[in-house]
A and B are shown apart, each in its own frame.
Chain A
Amino acid sequence: MSATTTYTKPDRAAQLDLPRLSSLARTLRARIIENSHKTQTPHLGSCLSCVDILVAAYFHVLRIDPAQPRDPLRDRFILSKGHGAPALFHVLAARGFYPESMLETYGQDGSVFAEHPPTPDHLPGIEAATGSLGHGLPMGLGMALSARIQGHPYRVFALLSDGECNEGSVWEAAMLAAAQRVDKLAVIVDFNKWQATGRSEQIMALSPLVEKWRAFGWNAQETDGHDIRALVQLLERVPDGSGKPVAIIAHTVKGKGVSFMEDDNNWHYRTPNAEELAAAKKELGVA
């Protein structure tokens, strides 16, 4: 049995250091864009849309200890939209799961950093290897049911994309979680209104997305997915006392933070050139 940490419940938003987290989000965006430029990694727009969600979770909400990444009592966070991996890799390094210098191997032959998260055995802080969509929520549900079986207090969060909600397995998991009243499970949908080749609403008729999750038996709320304070408040409320799993529909902007990338789906596959990188960093105020 490995050593376990007793996690103290963080105080409510009173303690939230919003200026620090906002500044951190800007720095992380700059690093992610730099990484995309340097390594020609796509999915930049998808990474930028979820940075604030990751910062709120990893830097304020999750009960985790980077020194003990396999602690059985830790909260679990699954990046079900695995193509956002570059964002997660930078967040985990900034949170102290591994040295930031490790990220220099990104894009090199033999690196552990694929364009999608590797397995937990290969990188500390990762809870599930994702990349094929619709897998993270079922696995997260299994983890949340394990907490119930083993009498552990931890919570499980799964970050999905709106395009990912095309996958039937998402809704299979939604129904089982509701039937089992798994209230320590939360879904966050990074609702940036785009998927790889077009508007998510036009491709698979997603709306009404909040009502869909409600109809599937979840306690669903919507929020501004770039408002760190609002995100923290909703995430901290899990479990929320309703006895239901929680869905947070986070309205986001694909490519958020850089004016010429925002809501432009070309940045799903495009990577920035040197001039674009410099312009982006200037806008973000990061050297």
Chain B
Amino acid sequence: MRNAFADEITKLGAEDPRVVLLSGDIGNKMFDKFKTAAESRFYNCGVAEANMMGVAAGMALCGLRPVIYTITPFTTTRCFEQIRVDVCYHRAPVTIVGTGAGLSYAELGPTHHSCEDLALLRALPGMTVLAPCDEVEVRLALRAAIAHDGPVYMRIGKKGEPVIHQQPPDFRIGHAITIRQGENVCLISTGNIMAVVLSAADRLSERGISARVESFHTVKPLDRERLLELFERYPLIAVVEEHGRIGGLGSSIAEWLAEQEAPRARLLSFGTDDVFMHEVGSQEYARDKFGLTADNISTKVLARLHTMRH
């Protein structure tokens, strides 16, 4: 995903003289092409994210379209007040990109994990929150973010994620994309865990359950229209995200659901637990620890469908 980001921001930098790229001393060589094409619009702001966020807001207030890039915790929790005051309060069109979403950097330890960013960022007034599911969505989301006249937060994975979309889909902020049609249950996902969700859908299919799969690349604003359609059509909706179950997409949908007139479909939420990981391992290991596997998701969905029938 991050290579797709680097490639797309280079194109955008060449197309749009308002685009400025700010990096927090990461992405060694990744942005060489951007620098060659638009040297005066690349700033390595050092290991000083609070200042970087303020600088971006100042640029946005002068008509530029700054894009900030660094590792997710450092571009969110490290400088949260600058995002709140400098960016959101001013409605400054800054695009904040966090790489290493969720457990992408599992082996680096909890300082580099990011399982609270969706919760925090979606609480900010006027903030748009995006979590594209593959490199195709990354490119489209980045274009949509820069075209958007307000602040955008976008979390992306690292490198080597499976490509989900064979053709570029119709990407609009706030409009979910149907990845796969299905009859019996619906799996909603956001961000870099989509491949696991598709595997879970495959497992369900092997057991005779046809699962629809949706990419909610926009966590905020929530696609309420699509939710209404899904919750009317399916008896069970499972939400899967590489993020804490507190405050993420699952929570957001639960908030929406609580305000709906009964009866509606049941909601099942998969995400990380309310703990820091003290046993280090690969991203797959970390996902497994939190039950974010095709096996666990399909088993739980089957069990819930079974209970609901009896």
Residue ranges of A at the interface with B (Cβ–Cβ < 8 Å): 72, 119-121, 127-129, 131-132, 134-135, 137-150, 168-169, 172-173, 175-176, 179-180
Contacts and interface: CB of A to CB of B under 8 A. Distances in A.
A139 B20 contact: no
B62 A150 contact: yes
B82 A142 contact: no
A141 B54 contact: yes
B27 interface: no
Contact of A142 (B46, B59, B81, B91): B59
Given A142-B54, A169-B51, 9 more contacts: A132-B81, A138-B86, A146-B59, A149-B59, A172-B50, A173-B54, A173-B55, A175-B46, A179-B46
Contact of A149 (B40, B82, B89): B40
B59 A143 contact: yes
B39 to A, nearest CB: 11
A176 B53 CA distance: 13
24 contacts: A119-B91, A128-B90, A129-B85, A134-B50, A135-B85, A135-B86, A138-B52, A138-B57, A138-B82, A139-B54, A139-B55, A140-B58, A142-B59, A145-B43, A145-B55, A145-B59, A146-B59, A149-B20, A149-B40, A149-B41, A150-B63, A150-B64, A172-B50, A176-B55
B46 A139 contact: no
B140 interface: no
A138 B66 CA distance: 14
B48 interface: yes
A176 B48 contact: yes
Residue from B46, B48, B63 whose CB has the most chain A CB atoms within 10 Å? B48
B239 to A, nearest CB: 35
Interface of A is mostly: helix
Given A120-B61, A139-B57, A180-B43, A169 B85 contact: no
Contacts of B61: 120, 127-128, 139, 142-143
A141 B46 contact: no
Contacts of B43: 145, 176, 180
Interface in B45-77: 45-46, 48, 50-64, 66
B48 A142 contact: no
B82 A135 contact: yes
Nearest to B56: A142
Contacts of B53: 138
A150 B33 CA distance: 21
Contacts of A132: 81, 85
A151 to B, nearest CB: 10
B51 A173 contact: yes
Contacts of B57: 138-139, 142
Residue from A135, A144, A173, A175 whose CB has the most chain B CB atoms within 10 Å? A135
Contacts of A150: 62-64
Nearest to B64: A146
A147 B51 contact: no
Nearest to A173: B51
A64 to B, nearest CB: 15
Interface residues of B, number: 30
A148 B53 CA distance: 18
Residue from A120, A140, A176 whose CB has the most chain B CB atoms within 10 Å? A176
Contact of A138 (B41, B51, B63): B51
B111 to A, nearest CB: 18
Contacts of B20: 149
Contacts of A146: 58-59, 62-64
A103 to B, nearest CB: 22
A175 B59 CA distance: 18
Contacts of B66: 142
A176 to B, nearest CB: 6
Given A72-B63, A149-B20, A169 B40 contact: no
Contacts of B52: 138
Contact of A119 (B40, B45, B90): B90
Nearest to B40: A149
Contacts of A176: 43, 45-46, 48, 51, 55
B62 A143 contact: yes
A135 B88 CA distance: 13
A149 B65 CA distance: 12
Contacts of A148: 40
A180 B45 CA distance: 10
Nearest to B58: A142
A254 B212 CA distance: 67
B58 A138 contact: yes
Residue from B53, B58, B64, B81 whose CB has the most chain A CB atoms within 10 Å? B58
Interface in B2-60: 20, 40-41, 43, 45-46, 48, 50-60
Nearest to A139: B58
Nearest to A134: B50
A194 B58 CA distance: 29
Given A145-B43, A147-B62, A149-B64, A129 B89 contact: yes
